[in-house]
């Protein structure tokens, strides 16, 4: 049985069908890149996996457990043990880098001393320990990307979802962050599901790519 199983899931917004009877199985520690043109349903797949949308039909299982089935989220997003890097990064502007990372650990009641150590370790891992007290708007675009990545990983999720996080960066920065990401993935072993419309990003990161069109998988390759 695959680690993540999406079975015949459909989702519409108003009259528009975003996902149409989509089935997708993803193995543990796999790096899957969902690839396709704008509006093909890539982001919706991530949001369904995260529990931010509810499927109308079909079911989603993570590690053998049904997390969503037709019309309801069985497991809420905060209990799914996953991290997400949003397209707009969604860094909380009123919090410092440290507070951004601490927020999730506090919510999960990790001891303060341990939480601080984990935040520092993660910031060192992404090379931003010197920016610990900065607010997001004081960071460069690349630094913001790395903070978002660190925030998503600091609570050690088993799945990392990334929604076109590199789309606004130049090629050199993209390569640097992609290389960081691969390093982190091999260190922590999380399952990576990455959404992009950029073929070069897919080539850099994927152990498998799936092409989506009109809410369906049209092509999959290793």
**Residues within the interface to other proteins (CB under 8 A):** 50-52, 65, 72-80, 82-84, 86-88, 90-94, 103-104, 107-108, 151-152, 155
**Closest CB to other proteins among residues 72, 222:** 72
Is 34 in a helix, a strand, or coil?
strand
In whole angstroms, how large is the CA radius of gyration of the chain? 17
Min dist CB 108 to other proteins, Å, is 5
Q: What's the rounded Cα separation, in Å, for the pair 91 and 197?
A: 23
Contact between 52 and 59 under an 8 Å Cβ cutoff? The reply is no
Q: What's the rounded Cα separation, in Å, for the pair 24 and 15?
A: 24
**Closest CB to other proteins among residues 103, 188:** 103
DSSP-based helix, strand, coil % in the chain, nearest 5: 35, 30, 35
Q: In terms of Cα–Cα distance, which of 67, 30, 70 is closest to 50?
A: 67
Q: Tokens 């994927």: give the residue.
A: 206
**Closest CB to other proteins among residues 53, 201:** 53
Q: What's the rounded Cα separation, in Å, for the pair 29 and 58?
A: 24
**Closest CB to other proteins among residues 114, 219:** 114
Min dist CB 221 to other proteins, Å, is 29
Q: What's the rounded Cα separation, in Å, for the pair 148 and 111?
A: 22
Min dist CB 10 to other proteins, Å, is 20
Q: What's the rounded Cα separation, in Å, for the pair 87 and 67?
A: 24
Is 145 in a helix, a strand, or coil?
helix
**Closest CB to other proteins among residues 107, 117:** 107
Min dist CB 172 to other proteins, Å, is 26
Min dist CB 24 to other proteins, Å, is 20
Min dist CB 191 to other proteins, Å, is 15
**Closest CB to other proteins among residues 45, 204:** 45
């Amino acid at each position: 049985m695959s680690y993540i199983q999406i079975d015949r899931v459909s989702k519409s917004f108003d009259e528009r069908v975003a996902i149409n009877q989509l089935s997708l199985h993803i193995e543990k520690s796999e790096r899957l890149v969902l690839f396709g043109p704008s509006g093909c349903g890539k982001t919706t797949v991530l949001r369904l996996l995260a529990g931010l949308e509810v499927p109308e039909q079909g079911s989603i299982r993570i590690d053998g457990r049904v997390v969503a089935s037709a019309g309801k989220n069985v497991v809420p997003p905060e209990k799914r043990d996953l991290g997400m890097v949003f397209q707009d990064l969604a860094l909380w502007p009123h919090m410092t880098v440290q507070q951004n990372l601490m927020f999730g650990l506090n919510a999960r009641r990790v001891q303060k001393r341990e939480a601080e150590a984990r935040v520092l370790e993660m910031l060192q891992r992404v090379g931003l320990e010197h920016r610990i007290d900065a607010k997001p708007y004081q960071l460069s675009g690349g630094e913001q990307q790395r903070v978002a990545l660190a925030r998503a990983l600091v609570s050690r999720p088993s799945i990392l979802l990334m929604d076109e996080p590199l789309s606004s960066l130049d090629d050199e920065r993209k390569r640097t962050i992609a290389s960081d990401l691969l390093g982190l993935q091999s260190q922590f072993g999380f399952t990576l599901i990455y959404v992009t419309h950029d073929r070069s990003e897919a080539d850099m990161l994927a152990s498998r790519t799936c092409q989506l069109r009109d809410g369906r998988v049209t092509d999959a390759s290793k």
